[in-house]
Amino acid sequence: MAMNVFSTIDNPTWAIELTEDNYIRKTGRDQRYVRQKGAQRKARYALCPKCQGPIMLINYIIPQTETEVLYGKHVQYNVEGLANYSQHAYENCPLKNPLRIDKGKRRAPGSAGARHLLEFIKQHLDIIFSTMEECTGIRFNKTARQHIVRNFAADKAWEYESVSTNNTPYAFLYFSEAIDLYGCRLVTKSKLNQEIRQCIDNSTDFRINIERYSSITRSRNSGKSLRLFFSNHTVSGSEENIKMHIVERDPSQGHDFYTTLLEKKVSFDQAKFINTCGKRSQIQELAAQYL
């Protein structure tokens, strides 16, 4: 229900992160975005960048004592001069009701929803990977990439109703089993860089080789492995994240024995992901039309 992005009349497909400051700057406080609701209250609206339907802003004016966060919510009526409600577009909008990713209900295998999502994934898989790398601070090597895609496919993850075009980077992380980090690299400009570097320094068998593009290598070999896995994809209010675990596994101490080196909630920039994929599709349409 809750959204953390919006768009405007001039550029309805361009996603903007929803903050009070962004909303004021992008709408210029134009009357088209505001409706009087009774004598005391104003309701503020914007567009949904995915379905272009109207959304209402919730908690726009927040008393400083309250902790409620600003978010957007689809409305099922026309907002004259701004956006029209379409039931079809609303029902198919991936931002309508972001779900916690789980192995719950499945879409019918050949259904339009499952086919559309699989097509989206095939077209944008490289963008999904760069978003996962931005989210985790880890640059996956070929083996890790293959592991991630193979696990996603083995589960036919695109059939789960909780997986949508907007949360595919989280879905790939969630559906992969433990990923072997040996040979992967760190994203040096990531805000997680320092923390990951620190946690690997705390391992017994692994280190970061700065001379070799910050790659994860061994400092000694006592048979341990360095692993990355994910749990608890969470959607609450306008917050969405997934819990990342980096562990050092020691098979000599038992099959499932590992030491946790890092446990952290991580997220990615949703507006950037929507816009990068949108731009890709638009350029591909140009190619199909003219080349």
Minimum CB–partner distance for residue 48 and Zn ion (Å): 3
| Total residues interacting with Zn ion, rule: CB under 5 A | 5
- According to CB under 5 A, which one of 16, 56, 83, 93 is a site residue for Zn ion? 93
Minimum CB–partner distance for residue 277 and Zn ion (Å): 15
Minimum CB–partner distance for residue 166 and Zn ion (Å): 10
**Is residue 3 part of the contact set for Zn ion (CB under 5 A)?**
no
Strand partners, 160: 106
**Is residue 247 part of the contact set for Zn ion (CB under 5 A)?**
no
Nearest residue to 276 via CA among 167, 170, 124: 124
**Is residue 192 part of the contact set for Zn ion (CB under 5 A)?**
no
**Is residue 51 part of the contact set for Zn ion (CB under 5 A)?**
yes
- Alpha-carbon distance of 121 to 142, in angstroms, equals 18
**Is residue 227 part of the contact set for Zn ion (CB under 5 A)?**
no
Q: Is the Cβ of residue 75 or residue 125 nearer to Zn ion in the bound state?
A: 75
**Is residue 50 part of the contact set for Zn ion (CB under 5 A)?**
yes
Minimum CB–partner distance for residue 113 and Zn ion (Å): 15
Q: Do residues 252 and 196 make contact, with C-beta atoms less than 8 angstroms apart?
A: no
- According to CB under 5 A, which one of 5, 95, 117, 148 is a site residue for Zn ion? 95
Binding residues for Zn ion, rule: CB under 5 A, are: 48, 50-51, 93, 95
